[in-house]
Amino acid sequence: MFHLSNKSGLYNILQEVLSGGRLEDSGLLFLLEEKDGKAVQKIASAADTLNLSINFGNVSYVVNRNINFTNICALNCRFCGYKRTKNSKDAFLLDYDKILEKISEGKKQIGIDEICVTGGINPELKSNPDYYFNLIRTVRNNFPDLHIHAFSPQEIYELAKATGKSYAGVIEKLVDCGLNSIPGTAAEILAEETRRKICPEKINTAVWVEIIKTAHRLRVKTSATVLFGHIESNKDLAYHLSLIRQIQDETGGFTEFIALPFISPKTSLGRLVDKAAMRDDNNVLKFYAVLRLYLDNFKNIQTSWPKIGVPAALKSLECGVNDFGGTLMEENITKSAGGKFGEYLSEGEIINLIKQTGKIPVRRDTVYNYLNINAGI
């Protein structure tokens, strides 16, 4: 047991983790609560050491394109600046030709290996669930080698409701159509009370967990995510991370953990949040470090350059992070919520940025097979 009430608490925790021990939930909360600047530096340094022993200085990235197929949404998540109603001037639902055109553009311009497809919960599609299945089938028929990473657990839930199928039935049908993996988004914060406050109409935690475990049981990999830096408490974060670690112990089906800082000044939730804390890179970087120390069953921790900006994303590579994320090409969701860090970095830019930190850039696929080490050299 850690002695959390004295100064040796931090030393004991870091020693324990660096010698291969598993950080308990009480230790996790202790690290999340730590604010002292020197202590935070020690946490970051321990995370960097641990990451080095796991990933040997490799920093991976994926050449991908986001495709947000609709911004029309029936839900009202309080952190969202992306959703539109059907009658909004800039509301859209992409047809398959437009989606194929975007993929062709991504293939020609940057040689994408992956598309990441998500959208709003468009009420029109409730009576047309085949839109989802045929979207995957159409992409697969046209791009046999492309990795299709698509549809969050919220979308799987809506498809189950619309078709009368079980979650497993929906996922199996999507896989038959050509789906490869599922984004572990819609997790937001899994501590139920806070979840209900920030996204009251979204699936509850139990359903999110059930859909994710179902995907893993069917050997469909997913990512794991958290939305942090809003009204959640450290206890909420500890609960979320503990649940994710338990699922990973059970299934091993998560490919990576992606921590998404809340940066949405234009949203109703943004007005409730302390702006200074929201922008504090040190809080964000400490959180990445804590993830590396706690999530001992995750090899991959991903930063988010569109949300925190390139300089902070590069710093995160010294705080336990080993994945730079993707080229994206377009990133509508963060941009609509007030994000200002752009939506595209070329592969060359990513390689040069990673090299600047003294790390080794590695192009990967969606499920973290390394495609070429020392990319671009």
Q: Which residues make up the interface to ligand SF4 (CB under 6 A)?
A: 73, 75-77, 80, 82-83, 120-121, 154, 199
* DSSP letters spanning 35-61: --HHHHHHHHHHHHHHHHHHHTTEEEE
- Side by side, which strands form the sheet with 147-150? 64-68, 114-118, 147-150
Cβ nearer to ligand SF4, comparing 268 with 297: 268
Q: How far apart are CA 282 and CA 296, in angstroms?
A: 22
Q: How far apart are CA 334 and CA 344, in angstroms?
A: 12
- Look at residue 323 and give its three-state secondary structure: strand
Q: How far is the CB of 112 from ligand SF4 (least distance, A)?
A: 23
Q: How far is the CB of 199 from ligand SF4 (least distance, A)?
A: 6
* Distances from the Cα of 219 to the Cα of 5, 27, 74, 181, 253, angstroms: 43, 32, 31, 9, 7
Cβ nearer to ligand SF4, comparing 82 with 239: 82
Q: How far is the CB of 224 from ligand SF4 (least distance, A)?
A: 17
Q: How far is the CB of 79 from ligand SF4 (least distance, A)?
A: 7
Q: How far is the CB of 207 from ligand SF4 (least distance, A)?
A: 14
Q: How far apart are CA 19 and CA 51, in angstroms?
A: 13
Cβ nearer to ligand SF4, comparing 27 with 81: 81
Cβ nearer to ligand SF4, comparing 29 with 80: 80
Q: How far is the CB of 155 from ligand SF4 (least distance, A)?
A: 9
Q: How far apart are CA 259 and CA 134, in angstroms?
A: 31
Cβ nearer to ligand SF4, comparing 58 with 267: 267
Joined together, the tokens standing for residue 313 give 């994303």
Q: How far is the CB of 92 from ligand SF4 (least distance, A)?
A: 13
Cβ nearer to ligand SF4, comparing 7 with 161: 161
CB 153, CB 203: distance < 8 Å: yes
Partners of 259 in the β-ladder: 226
Cβ nearer to ligand SF4, comparing 58 with 332: 332
The sign one gets for the Cα dihedral 169, 163, 254, 147 is: positive
